[in-house]
Amino acid sequence: MSAPTVVPLIAGEPVHSPAPGAEWWRHAVIYQVYPRSFADGNGDGVGDLPGVTRRLDHLKQLGVDAVWLSPFYRSPQKDAGYDVSDYRDVDPLFGTLEDFDEMLAGAHQRGMRVIVDVVPNHTSDQHVWFQEALAAAPGTPERERYMFRDGRGLAGDEAPNNWQSIFGGPAWTRLAPGEDDGPLGPQWYLHLFDSSQPDLNWENPEVRTEFEDVLRFWLDKGVDGFRIDVAHGMIKAPGLPDWAGKVAMVEGTDPGAPEDGATGAGNNGPMFDQDGVHDIYRAWHQLLAGYDGDRCLVAEAWVEPLSRLANYVRADEMQQAFNFAFLTTPWNAPALRTTVNVSLAAMDEVGAPSTWVLSNHDVVRHASRLGLSAEASAGPLNGIAAHDPQPDEELGLRRARAASLLMLGLPGSAYLYQGEELGLPDHTALPSEVRQDPAFFRTEGAEAGRDGCRVPLPWSADDAGFGFGPTAATWLPQPASYARYAADQQYGVPGSTFEMYRAALEVRHAHELGQGRLAWVEAYADSTDVLAFQVNDVVVVANLGESPVALPAEAEVLVASGPLGSGDGSGVADDGVTLPLDTTVWLRAL
């Protein structure tokens, strides 16, 4: 092999400068806790709030700025808590309101902020409002809180339109016959998700008032912000027109991100991204502004292109929006460069920070995604079954670490999903009998569903249930391989994934990378193999190609996602250092 040439790591003109504003959310690293799978306090096999409190030191040690908790509210758990029956109470499965207060105080004492989830697009069918609607006649105020319609056809027995549920099957369910039915028989109700999740009618002022009150309830308790579920879905196009497109929360990746940053991650149907939705966020912005402490709203909006997503974070709306274009960009240097550029430009346009995210509770973890072949990883993101092509676990971990280190070097705010700091892969061979995601049932198994990324975390290799709780119980089985990912196998171990994340967060903080300017390294600006950029005084170099990249011999390594090559054997003469493939390094700028 011929020696790779050392190229100077000289940055060009910055393509991004941070917007003014010193609010914490502009650069925070936010850790997603999925409560049922984080840590179990009472031994019933389901994670809970006391479990979170007990493990807060893990998060403190990791060095994150904030925690976002997925829903822990009262819920029949038909969609793992995204079907809320009481927005102002904790489900007994997860504890009590006092347990919440304790968790919040514990996080605040450790200097970490707390964001909670709000699910405003739909309630559970067990919510008192929906129960009242069922008992009421068509056209009554009780029905007006939801999206009830007469059916089509002479007998009203065809659904009001052709929309499909995101979890599969029709998006409409017809009520059982009742005394008050009109000539068209029982009405139908809309549910973009499961039939147990009826969509609310956001044209109804009563719905708006109710949610403003829910926000106040949690703000008064002291939460620092909200993650808004399906933030692009609350307003539907007038007349609910038919739409032949595929409704999907998560779609596959396209081979490359086109110039506009559209990656196939969005939805453009009449149920999504309607302009009217922004009035809601303007009102919520005002509401939060009445509280101290830079409270924030983050949009879960699968919207494209990024210029449309930027509408959600205009100065008088939300503060952040998840960047799913980044999550769905393939492991390819030009595609990632485009996504980073387009993301920063779109958010700079409105003075908002870009966010970065690689994993969450709805998608295959990036350690598994990146271990799939290019063709397989272009498929659906929401679940791998035993009969699907299986990821290469070693390759996936190596790339996941490189991808995470790349992400954490970017300016803006980064989201981590619980377990990624341990390098966790999905459980990719869950038996059908244990699956719980409604998407698995509604597609009759055609989609594996999202259970694989929701498996309870391994805390200690030698304990039953890998230390998830005080008993061996875990609501989903953990793969045997989780022993080697357990937190206690990684704390203080040089080179472990946990220690890599911890070191990266420390350097990110010390060098204020979240608030930095970004400039691409000129020599690699058009490289098909290498991504290299400078933020403040740190140069991030990621090798996505097939041969090692020579680094300047005098470069000081701050953090690396894997072992670096030395001069001998890797092709570099003298004492040079090389960056192996699928590896990212942070260097101090010369």
Active site residue ranges:
229, 300
In the complex, least distance from residue 331 CB atom to ligand NOJ, rounded to whole angstroms:
23
Surface-to-core class of residue 96, CB atoms within 10 Å of its CB (0-12 exposed, 13-18 middle, 19+ buried):
middle
Q: How far is CA 397 from CA 113, 136, 363, 480, in A?
A: 29, 54, 16, 16
DSSP structural state of residue 265:
-
Closer to ligand NOJ at the Cβ: 230 or 402?
A: 230
What angle (nearest 5°) sits at the alpha carbon of residue 370, between those of residues 399 and 473? 100
Mapped to the 3 state alphabet, what secondary structure does 576-588 carry?
CEEECCCEEEEEE
Query: What gap in Å lies between CA 74 and CA 189, rounded to an integer?
Result: 22
369 and 396 Cβ atoms separated by less than 8 Å: yes
Dist. CA 416–CA 327, nearest whole Å: 12
Nearest residue (CB) to ligand NOJ, 193 versus 520: 193
The sign of the dihedral angle between the CA atoms of 18, 23, 27, 32 is negative
CB distance 297 to 319 below 8 Å: yes
| Nearest distance, CB of residue 193 and ligand NOJ, angstroms | 5
Calpha distance 378→330 (Å, rounded): 8
CB of 137 to ligand NOJ, least distance (A): 29
Judged by beta carbon, residue 362 or residue 582, the one nearer ligand NOJ is 362
**What is the spatial distance between Cα 89 and Cα 100, in angstroms, rounded to a whole number?**
10
Query: Which two three-digit tokens encode residue 227?
Result: 């993650």
DSSP state of 573: -
Q: Min. distance of Cβ 485 from ligand NOJ in angstroms? A: 23
288 in Cβ contact with 325 (< 8 Å): no
Binding residues for ligand NOJ, rule: CB under 6 A, are 79, 82, 119, 193, 229-230, 300, 361-362
Query: Rounded to the nearest whole angstrom, what is the least distance from the CB of residue 394 to ligand NOJ in the complex?
Result: 29
- Tell me the residue nearest to ligand NOJ as measured from the CB: 82
Taking the complex as a whole, the smallest distance from the CB of residue 93 to ligand NOJ amounts, in Å, to 16
Look at strands 29-33 and 413-417 and give their pairing: parallel
**Which residue in 490, 461, 458, 491 sits closest to 474, CA to CA?**
458
| 170: β partners | 164
Map residue 133 onto helix, strand or coil. helix
Q: Give the shortest CB-302-to-ligand NOJ separation in angstroms.
A: 9
